[in-house]
């Protein structure tokens, strides 16, 4: 018998694991006929927001970005997305980046379409334009090996230019593959597992992780991961990048 008083979720000062067993739904104005789980946001101490949206067949998301840019990725299903007047059908693995001050509308989903969103307040950079709307497909993006290890592959979904102040990458680890060292860095992460399982080390604590789990890592949260099981472990993650690191 399962004991309902147990969970793998933890929320700490500089990291969190949110497994789906603890979800409580939010109602978000403009996002109708869908279930919204706000997984990471500033209430935790984070500088990003990450949500998971599960749409019924009447589901619709409408809005206009303001100070924050938005990134949507289709985890499963299919939906029509109109951003700044351009309409595309998005299916599993496809995504759209919405810069500040643009209108968007997602409609006509297949039932149970699941979308991931990352939100970040956009920091303009003198001499660089605000990025344009960008539609993309992870299936067409190469995944070169990470730091020379063939067990690790990294796909970079957004262009590597200084206009962008956020990166979204997909990291694939073959079983037994692991980060080559413990990362200790200023950048923050939000992520969700798309496949597989493994063990994450966050600030010297060890956590079993699997498909559907999300993680928040604050700046300087120490991090290391190894994949276990019989299939690759895959997560999609956010990272803040490309801006001056200090006000001092
Ligand atoms: O880009 C990164 O910092 C990445 N290697 N971190 C991570 O996957 N935890
Ligand atoms: Mn990292």
pLDDT digits (tens, 9 = 90+) for 151-169: 999 999 999 999 999 999 9
Q: What is the CA radius of gyration of the chain?
A: 18
- Say if residue 201's pLDDT is above 90: yes
**Does 223 sit in the ligand 1 pocket, CB within 6 Å?**
yes
Query: What pLDDT is stored for residue 1 in this prediction?
Result: 78
Q: How far apart are CA 34 and CA 36, in angstroms?
A: 6
The arithmetic mean of pLDDT across residues 180-188, rounded, is 98
Share of the chain above pLDDT 70, in %: 100
Rounded distance between C-alpha atoms, residue 146 and residue 155, angstroms? 9
Confidence tier at 121 by pLDDT (50, 70, 90): very high
Q: Does residue 171 have its Cβ closer than 6 Å to ligand 1?
A: yes
75-119 per-position pLDDT tens digit: 999 999 999 999 999 999 999 999 999 999 999 999 999 999 999
Q: Ligand 1, closest atom to CA 224?
A: 9
Phi/psi region, residue 151 (left: phi>0; alpha: psi -120 to 50; beta: rest), is: alpha
Residue 124, pLDDT above cutoff 90: yes
Compute the distance from residue 131 Cα to the ligand 1 centre, in Å: 23
- Residue 207's beta-bridge partner residues? 200
pTM for this prediction: 0.98
Separation CA 149–CA 180 (nearest Å): 8
Q: Ligand 2 is a single-atom ion; what residues have CB below 5 A from it? A: 183
Q: How far is residue 171's CA from residue 37's CA, in Å, rounded to a whole number?
A: 23
> 183 in ligand 1 pocket by Cβ < 6 Å?
yes
Average pLDDT, the chain: 98
Position 2 scores a pLDDT of 84
């Amino acid at each position: 018998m399962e004991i309902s008083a147990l969970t793998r979720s933890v929320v700490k000062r500089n990291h969190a694991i949110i497994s789906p067993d603890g979800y409580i739904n939010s109602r978000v104005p403009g996002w109708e006929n869908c279930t919204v789980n706000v997984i990471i946001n500033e209430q935790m101490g984070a500088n990003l927001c990450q949500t998971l949206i599960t749409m019924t067949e009447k589901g619709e998301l409408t809005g206009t970005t303001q100070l924050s840019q938005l990134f949507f990725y289709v985890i499963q299903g299919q939906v029509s997305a109109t951003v700044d007047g351009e309409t595309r059908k998005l299916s599993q693995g496809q995504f759209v980046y919405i810069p500040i001050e643009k209108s968007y509308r997602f409609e006509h989903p297949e039932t149970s379409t699941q979308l991931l969103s990352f939100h970040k307040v956009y920091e303009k950079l003198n001499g660089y334009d605000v990025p344009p709307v960008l539609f993309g497909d992870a299936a067409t993006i190469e995944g070169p090996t990470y730091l020379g290890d063939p067990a690790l592959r990294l796909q970079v979904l957004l262009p590597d230019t200084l206009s962008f102040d956020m990166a979204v990458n997909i990291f694939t680890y073959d079983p037994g593959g692991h980060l080559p060292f413990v990362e200790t860095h200023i950048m923050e992460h939000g992520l969700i597992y798309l496949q597989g399982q493994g063990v994450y080390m966050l600030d010297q604590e060890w956590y079993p992780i699997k498909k559907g789990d999300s993680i928040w890592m604050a700046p300087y949260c120490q991090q290391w991961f190894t994949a276990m099981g019989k299939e690759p472990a895959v997560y999609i993650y956010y990272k803040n990048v490309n801006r001056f690191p200090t006000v001092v």
